[in-house]
A and B are shown apart, each in its own frame.
Chain A
Amino acid sequence: DTGVSQNPRHKITKRGQNVTFRCDPISEHNRLYWYRQTLGQGPEFLTYFQNEAQLEKSRLLSDRFSAERPKGSFSTLEIQRTEQGDSAMYLCASSLGGALDQETQYFGPGTRLLVL
């Protein structure tokens, strides 16, 4: 299976701890996206990368959140000093990187974070 993979699938942490999630996109995909999904809601856009460049960040991405894609392949999303409100499913998606009207995002299974 060469789809988008995310690790870990589940993470339980205590408030104030730092957590890091990893996303491995489909290998030939240039664009990579992070979304957050809380219970009963649709995914909310956080940020996206074109290769290694982070091109857009949502206001939802506070200064406790940082995302990287150092070599234009896998990406990490780190949350520092976690709060209970950070509990959510964090979804990663990737796309080929063509014109907007050719874009299809392929989603990973997500990382479910629970902050106690």
Chain B
Amino acid sequence: AQSVTQLDSQVPVFEEAPVELRCNYSSSVSVYLFWYVQYPNQGLQLLLKYLSGSTLVKGINGFEAEFNKSQTSFHLRKPSVHISDTAEYFCAGGGGGFKTIFGAGTRLFVKA
């Protein structure tokens, strides 16, 4: 079955600390992979996407993600987080055609 699994439902972290949000995808998910961010009462905003080529993808707001085919992972990282990064983060993958399969989300909570 097609699935995208986010391994942590919540990640608390102190401001200016590094963070990693983990994502694994099933092999039946196509290797178009995405990370979206959702702020309260807003729609989803694309942070970055992997289509092909370099396995290290850089996105907006200082985020980056690394595609690892052997581990079927696409973890999101940021070296130093800010209070404003507090949000829900969704990993997603192509579900065939133009359908997108989303993970359940990881709530990043940045503490002062």
Could you list which residues of chain B lie within 8 angstroms of chain A, going by C-beta atoms? 4, 6, 9, 32, 36, 41-46, 49, 51-52, 90, 92, 94-95, 97-105
Could you list which residues of chain A lie within 8 angstroms of chain B, going by C-beta atoms? 4, 31, 33, 35, 40-45, 48, 55-56, 58, 91, 93, 95, 100-101, 103-110
| B98 A107 Cβ-Cβ under 8 A | no
Q: Choose among B45, B97, B104 the residue that contacts A107 (Cβ–Cβ < 8 A).
A: B45
| A45 B99 Cβ-Cβ under 8 A | yes
| B43 A91 Cβ-Cβ under 8 A | yes
- The answer for the CA separation of A93 and B102 in the assembled complex, in Å, is 14
6 closest A-B pairs by CB:
A42-B102, A107-B43, A107-B44, A101-B51, A109-B43, A43-B102
| A56 B98 Cβ-Cβ under 8 A | yes
Q: Which residues in A have their C-beta under 8 angstroms from that of B43?
A: 4, 91, 93, 107-110
Least CB distance, A102 to chain B, in whole angstroms: 8
Given contacts A4-B43, A107-B45, contact A40 B104 (CB under 8 A): yes
- The answer for the CA separation of A27 and B85 in the assembled complex, in Å, is 30
| B100 A105 Cβ-Cβ under 8 A | yes
| A43 B44 Cβ-Cβ under 8 A | yes
Q: Choose among B41, B46, B51, B104 the residue that contacts A105 (Cβ–Cβ < 8 A).
A: B46
